[in-house]
Amino acid sequence: MSMRKQLSMYVPPPNAALLEKLRNELDPVQANLIPAHVTLCREDELPSAMERKVVADLREGWHSITLEFGEPQRFSSHGVLLPCVGGLENFHALRCQILDSSSVKPQLPHITLAHPRNPKSVQNDSFKSTYSLGELEVTFNIISLIEQEGSNPWVVLKEFDLAEEVKRNG
């Protein structure tokens, strides 16, 4: 079975409660695989030897990262995502620091509400009128190293609490 690892930032409460309700209606399969999150570094960017380096890098200057998300958008037939509309520069800077490179490929952060590889739900057709969220601001304090075996749900291997690092080192 294939194994995938990535760095993700799970949406914290109270935003998570609202988003999980929407995700369960729009795509219960995806909602059961992984909570609402933003992927920071994908598996092809994160070799296993880098895990030790991640801890050191996250202790240098990051206390949290705040991203703003816009209205839901469709992608690839019945996929639905919340695009990041604010905080992109900080997101890219954090990726550059973790990956130890100034030439990191751009990645547009987003929160997936429905993934097109999963069956389309009845609620998916009316998502625009039913699920208007306005702009949503989310502050992430924890970065998680997660792993998925085959098509099983993602599992958290390690958490890097940026706010805790401030308390310990500040």
pLDDT digits (tens, 9 = 90+) for 119-169: 666 666 666 544 567 779 999 999 999 999 999 999 999 888 877 644 433
What number is the average pLDDT over the span 82-106? 89
- Tokens representing 165? 């690092």
For residues 146 and 156, is the Cβ–Cβ distance under 8 A? Answer: yes
Specify the pTM.
0.85
| pLDDT tens-place string over residues 31-82 | 999 999 999 998 888 765 455 566 555 656 678 899 999 988 888 887 888 9
Structural domains of the chain, with CATH = 3-169 (3.90.1140.10)
pLDDT for residue 50: 59
Each residue of 41-53: b (16+ CB within 10 Å) or e?
Answer: bebebbeeebeee
